[in-house]
Amino acid sequence: MGNRAGGRRTGPKCIAIVGPFASGKTTLLEALLARTGAIQRQNPVSSGSTVGDSSAEARAHQMSVEACVATTEFMGESLTFIDCPGSIEFAYEAEPVLAACDLAVVVAEPDEKKIPALQLIMRTLDELGIPRVLFLNKVDKSTEGVRDTLKMLQPASVTPLLLRQIPLRKDGVIVGSIDLALERAYIYREHAESEIAPIPDDEKAREIEARFSMLERLADHDDVLMEQLLDEIEPPRDEIFDDLAADLRDGAVIPVLIGSAERGNGILRLLKTIRHDAPDAAATRGRLGLEPGGSTILQVMKTIHTPHGGKLSVARVLAGEIADGTEIVTSDGRSARISGLYRLLGRDQTKLPKAGEGETVALGKLDDIRTGDTLAAGKSPPAALAPRSAPEPVYAIALRPLERKDEVKLSASLQKLAEEDPSLIIEHQDTGETVISGHGEMHLRVTTERLDSKYQITVQSSRPGVPYCETIRKGTSQRGRHKKQSGGHGQFGDVVLDIKPLPRGSGFEFTDTITGGVVPKQYIPSVESGVRDFLKSGTFGFPVVDIAVNLSDGSYHTVDSSDMAFQMAAKLAMREAMPACSPVILEPVMKIEVFTPSDSTAKVTAILPQRRGQILGFDARPGWDGWDVVEALMPQSEIGDLIVELRSATAGVATYRATFDHMAELAGRQADEVMNARNKAA
């Protein structure tokens, strides 16, 4: 014991609020800001959050769809809270935020169905090495004991959950809490500071037992405390608090506090725990591998395009000091000058002349700066502190603007949305379609709604086209003669093409066996060009693959032959030959890996065959207790909305990874449907 934690960490702190969907994160943010006086009163989220995500999309869907930043003060210290969306479809918002945070407050509730979602969040925090506190919300609505709830939640976390408070009940209703470290009772008062009270006599035995369990867990990391417990010596209270802080910062335990964000209960104890126990910017620098000393370093956590103020880059000052007008440079050498420095409270901005170490601020009009960038003041590029790659998309739609005049505007607006949400992938197709890919149906629905509400662009969406191909089953030989006389020089080209199928995946092969100069050498490339041009859109309108074409014979005219004439002759030969070659449609087949909680594996294996999936097997997901990986082969055409059905069957947490495996022949009803759709599109 002693001074393991090294004392309380002072200075500005940055805290992420994370947790499963609808666990009460935004409500908790409101409660924290109301208790610290940053807002006058706590608003119910249903009526529109004061500082949380209050976008039209968030209100319409009753869920946060982007991270919200709010800075406040508590007991003379600056605290920035960043409320992160809980849905798996918007989970990527949290990763650049978490990279530069000191602490995460994980909001959970006594709901067994949300354990898989909680496990995903805990795993992300483990991978990033983020210390965390768990706020067990909605305890006033739970009929289960808190310790039973912790046993239920523990499988979601590799790190032990450590109960710091137990509920105080009266007539079966939770009326307060008992702090196990302070050995003090608190009587809840709605949206006000709790009233300190002695521990009731009938609760003392339960408190002693729960406190001893807490101390036993702390003793796992403190030999002196272990000896004191064995000798039945009461450890000093200050040293218990020191152990709690040290184990939190080391990631050895996850302290669990209880309350009700909606009623404002347990909020002050959470704030005091953050103030006393949370690490600071120096610890975060160490976690990110930033050496002490040196220049001013910032990490960009989020990008915001405001309606009137332009682009804002939300960044954490990890070292040094930054002032308005400072020249900054990124890890890869992009440079810019800060034009405006702001503290954020939701949508409200307060202009600042400068910001010091640990502060979280918004930097104005850095057009070339992206979410995730590491910035340094001056001209020497810093090392990238938190390089990351976006998870693979699982859902895609094709977009067309309702008005043709919006085509150019659509591209620019999507680019801004992608800056705000780096998990959004944009591809411009040759067909004129713009395909956007993301992490679920709601993710892309919100994107299209933002185009409408933020940029006044109404779009039509559809499923992206599947890259079907054609091939042939047998070979043939075909002459193609292009002859045209229209006064002056005519056109003449004559070729004989031998066509045969190739093994699947071979592509296209062109050869010639011309002898005697029946087709002059200078025209042979034109023949190949004509064949290739035809293969772009074969008999059924799809690219032709796995085919070999040999130029074996032909003839020419010394005056009328030309490159164009031989190209036309080659196309004519191919067009007439294809019906005799038994052409077939090929569809892409993907290998997919579905990641699912084990108790939903049976549902997943029932879904896949209904989409023409061939299950290859399933096994435990390596390193993921209680999760499986199901492997299957599935036509790409069946994958379009697969994620919607998978999420519905797995409490919203399943995902998958798909890679191209092979092309397979398509026949029967499916082939007819593809042809009908192609003909309608034409």
Strand partners, 618: 630
Helix (H) or strand (E) holding 566: helix 563-577
User: Can you list the alpha helix ranges (DSSP code H) found in 383-457?
Assistant: 407-420, 441-455
Over residues 413-436, the mean pLDDT reads 87
Q: Is the pLDDT of residue 291 over 90?
A: no
Compute φ and ψ for 12, nearest 5 degrees.
-60, 140
**Residue type (1 letter), 338:** I
Report the number of secondary-structure helices (H) and strands (E) in the chain: 17, 34
Report pLDDT for 6: 81
Of 75, 93, 120, whose CA–CA distance to 647 is shortest?
120
Residues 633, 586: Cα–Cα separation, whole Å: 15
> What is the model's pLDDT at position 248?
96
Predicted pLDDT of residue 461: 93
Q: Which of 56-60, 165-169, 363-367 has the weakest average pLDDT?
A: 56-60
Is the per-residue pLDDT at 342 higher than 90? Answer: yes
Strands of 224-378, DSSP E: 254-258, 297-306, 310-319, 322-323, 327-330, 335-337, 341-345, 348-351, 354-355, 360-364, 374-377
Indicate yes or no: pTM above 0.75: yes
Lookup: tokens for 435:
């395909």
Q: How far apart are CA 186 and CA 648, in angstroms?
A: 41
- Confidence band of 104 (pLDDT split at 50, 70, 90): very high
Residue 123 has pLDDT above 90, yes or no: yes
Q: Grade residue 170 by pLDDT with cuts at 50, 70 and 90.
A: confident
Q: How confident is the model at residue 52 (pLDDT cuts 50, 70, 90)?
A: low
The token pair at 180 is 């196990």
Cβ atoms of residues 102 and 359 within 8 Å: no
Length of the chain: 682
Residue 166, C-beta contacts closer than 8 angstroms, at least 6 positions apart: 146, 147, 177, 178, 180, 206, 207, 210, 258
- C-alpha atoms less than 13 angstroms from C-alpha of 648 in its C-beta half-sphere: 8
Answer yes or no: are the C-beta atoms of 434 and 374 closer than 8 Å.
Answer: no
Q: Which two tokens stand for residue 370?
A: 């992206």
d(CA 651, CA 34): 32
- Per-residue pLDDT at 53: 64
429 pLDDT more than 80: no
Local confidence band at 667 (pLDDT 50, 70, 90 cut-offs)? confident
Flag whether pLDDT at 457 surpasses 80.
yes
**Residue closest to 2 by CA, chosen among 221, 183, 163:** 221
With a cut of 70, say whether residue 54 has pLDDT above it: no
pLDDT in tens, 5-27: 788 888 999 999 999 999 999 99
The pLDDT > 90 percentage for the chain reads 80
Question: Rounded to an integer, what distance in angstroms lies between the CA atom of residue 23 and that of residue 566?
Answer: 70
- Phi first, then psi, for residue 250 (nearest 5°) are -80, -10
Whether the per-residue pLDDT at 396 is higher than 90: the answer is yes
Provide the mean pLDDT of the chain.
92
